[in-house]
Structure 1
Amino acid sequence: MGKALGDILGLAAGVAVSPLPIVAIILVLATPQGRLNGSLFTLGWLAGLSVLGGVMLAIGGAGGSSAHHQPATWVGALKLVLGILLVLFGIRQWRHRPTGASPAELPKWMAAIDRFSPVKVFGLGLALSAANLKNAPLTLAAAASISSSGVATGQQVASLAIFVIIGSLGILAPLAVFLFLGDRARSVLGGWKDWAARHNVAVMAALFFVLGLKLLGDGLGILTS
């Protein structure tokens, strides 16, 4: 299990650093039903990562490792493809980053968050975790790494749970601030929101590129070993 955790910790950290979802939950927390909506958003986020990772584990099963407990060829191919996609996304993000003093542009749907029903808030958390161009490949790669570790099913599930928790720290932190800091929460979360919105594109481009190169290296290492 230790090897599995070593393979996924960096990927989990990459999921946790997600500026746009952080902005989204801060806006959700600012709604009239902030406590309820923030909890639903977080549950949706946790469910998205868990279900996507669980599906990958179910597909991989014990077939993620060879008879010698080395990653199977398909794991290397998957990581190679995901790595290429992330690098391409990173290049695209960097080329479309704001220049000069241009203000950061956020998705138009964010302006309507205060009108979202609880079901939509839950669905938003689900989508931003499981359908995110960065988080989905990283979650699939992490689950494939767990599958390829050759550990028992219970340890695979525990490893995925640890991945989900670490990958959710960027969402859990604003929720904790909102729940426990009282009146100070508004100013703290406002500062976080402004920073995340301002640096979203640059942070995402860097993460896409660095983590994509890591998956490329992992995939090539598996396929050539």
Structure 2
Amino acid sequence: MGSAIGDTLPLAVGIAISPIPIIAAILMLLSPKARATSVGFLVGWVLGIAVAATVFTLLSSALPEGDEDASKPVTAVMRLVLGAGLLLLSLRQWRSRPAPGVEPPLPKWMAGIDAMTAGRAFGLGFLLAAVNPKNLLLGAGAGLAIGAAGLAVGESAIVLLVFTLVAAASVAVPVIAYLVASERMAAPLERLRAWLVHNNATVMAVLLLVIGVVLIGKGIGNF
């Protein structure tokens, strides 16, 4: 179980530092319906991460088991494909870096956050966690690692829980902090939002590159 947690933690961190959901959560916390929308978004975000990782864990568990020391070509190919996908996303992120002094554009849907309801915020959080291509690849990698570890049901559930908690932490922390001390959090949240807007492409490009290389390396090792 420890090795499975170790394999999934970098993938969880990759989801956790995704700038777009963090920026969305911050904008909700600065909106008129801060409490309702931010909590709805957080619940959707956590559920989306858990569902995606669980689905891929179940699919991976269905793969034929071999000897521990034997090659695992199916797992190897899946890891190579996931790693290659992350490398392509890394290249795309790197090319999307804004020029110095240029304000990076944000997704158009963020303009409607002030009027968003808790239900729509929940749906948005779920979609960003479970359907976003980058998070989907990272969730698939985590599910593959858990399913291939040959763990008991209880152990797999614990690994999934740890993965979900780590992956959701970057959204959960500002939301919980705001609920506890809303007046003191407004200025720090705005500074964090501004930093993420200007640096998200570079941060994600480097992280996806590292995780992609790790997955490709593990895939080669499975042959």
What is the TM-score of this pair, normalised by structure 2?
0.94
Q: Secondary structure at the match of 1:93?
A: helix
Can you list the C-alpha shifts for 1:28-60, whole angstroms capped at 9, x where unaligned? 122222112111101100111111111112212
Partner of 1:220: 220
Q: Secondary structure at the match of 1:67?
A: coil
Gaps of 5+ in 1: none
Query: How far, CA to CA, are the matches of 1:121 and 1:200 in structure 2?
Result: 22
Work out the number of aligned pairs and report it. Answer: 223
Note if 1:20 corresponds to 2:20: yes
| Contact 1:72/1:148 (8 A) holds in 2 | no
1:13, CA displacement in angstroms? 1.1
Query: How far, CA to CA, are the matches of 1:62 and 1:3 in structure 2?
Result: 20
1:117, CA displacement in angstroms? 2.3
Gaps of 5+ in 2: none
Percent of pairs with identical residues: 36
Superposed counterparts of 1:30-41, under 5 Å: 30-41=30-41
Superposed counterparts of 1:145-224, under 5 Å: 145-223=145-223
1:64, CA displacement in angstroms? 6.5
| Contact 1:64/1:72 (8 A) holds in 2 | no
1:35 aligned partner, one-letter code: R
Q: Secondary structure at the match of 2:133?
A: coil
1:67, CA displacement in angstroms? 3.4
Query: How far, CA to CA, are the matches of 1:69 and 1:55 in structure 2?
Result: 26
Q: Secondary structure at the match of 1:98?
A: coil
| Contact 1:64/1:150 (8 A) holds in 2 | no
What is the TM-score of this pair, normalised by structure 1?
0.93
2:85 aligned partner, one-letter code: L
* Runs of 4+ in structure 1 over 4 Å off: none
The 3 A distance-change label for structure 1 pair 130 and 69 is farther
Query: How far, CA to CA, are the matches of 2:64 and 2:214 in structure 1?
Result: 19
Can you list the C-alpha shifts for 1:75-107, whole angstroms capped at 9, x where unaligned? 221111011011111112212211121112111
Partner of 1:68: 68
Partner of 1:108: 108
Partner of 1:98: 98
Superposed counterparts of 1:70-149, under 5 Å: 72-149=72-149
| Contact 1:44/1:122 (8 A) holds in 2 | yes
Note if 1:58 corresponds to 2:58: yes
1:3 aligned partner, one-letter code: S
Aligned alpha-carbon RMSD (Å):
1.6
| Contact 2:36/2:117 (8 A) holds in 1 | no
Can you list the C-alpha shifts for 1:99-157, whole angstroms capped at 9, x where unaligned? 12111211111111111222211111011111222211111101110111111111111
